[in-house]
Amino acid sequence: MILRDSVYRDELESMLKEVEQRAYHPYVQRYVRYPDINLFQLHFLFLFLHQTGISSALRRHYCISQMLIQLGLDSHDHVDNQKVSSDDSLKQRQLTILSGDHFSGHYYHYLAEHGEVELIHKWACVVKTINEDKTRLYMEHDLLSQEDVLCLKRQIKRRIPESVLNWFDAPDLWYAILETFVCLSTHVEEGFPPDETFESNVERLKELIDRLGDRTLKGEFTLWLDKIEQAYLVIEP
């Protein structure tokens, strides 16, 4: 896991552990494949919030709540529309839906515990927007061009971290890093071969990381740049 190489490893792993303790249920795990936590999103937001100077407690509230929200959204993505053929299949579908609601409920509960009522409302607006985006992607998928579909997918991927950047009036550089990384990661996830656009975005991300100035930040983001490049690493015979 990339985060093991981060200088903030202990704090990041502590947050991951709390999410696991709060959200994962052994019975549900017997039937449902839980989605993976978006580690880049966690790391990106942690690094951004760290340099804003907010307290470590508030930083933790943002990071943990966004993980729970993302898990809920991703769990619902695993629900298909195929006709179920057995009781086990029906149970799996029902539990998948409930697990998404379960994660979402935990984000409310977690923030309420810490008195973060305003943040609950902010996240609710973000979730509403993401669900609207996903509905459009589902309903209009066959009517959209491949590029429009990819644009919408990238937009959905950016919604949570971009919202946090908006709330803190982040410099343009942070938006550019996020947008470029999402373009690259989507390219890899969709199984596209490396092309000129991909290589151009790799070079752009290198330039953006270099503009950060801070050596620690550069090192942290370079971990992800290396991962992207290794995704297409070919060892010549």
pLDDT digits over 10-68, tens only? 999 999 999 988 877 665 566 666 778 999 999 999 999 999 999 999 999 999 999 99
pLDDT digits over 185-198, tens only? 999 999 999 999 99
Percent of the chain's residues with pLDDT above 70: 82
Is residue 177 within 8 Å of residue 158, measured between CB atoms? no
> Phi first, then psi: what are they for 27, rounded to 5°?
-65, -45
Residue 234 is predicted with a pLDDT of 45
**Domain 2-155: what homologous superfamily?**
Farnesyl Diphosphate Synthase (1.10.600.10)
Phi-psi region of 213 (alpha: psi -120 to 50; beta: other; left: phi over 0): left
Tell me 36's DSSP state.
P
Mean pLDDT for 153-171 is: 98
- Per domain, the residue ranges of the chain are 2-155, 171-237
pTM over 0.85: yes
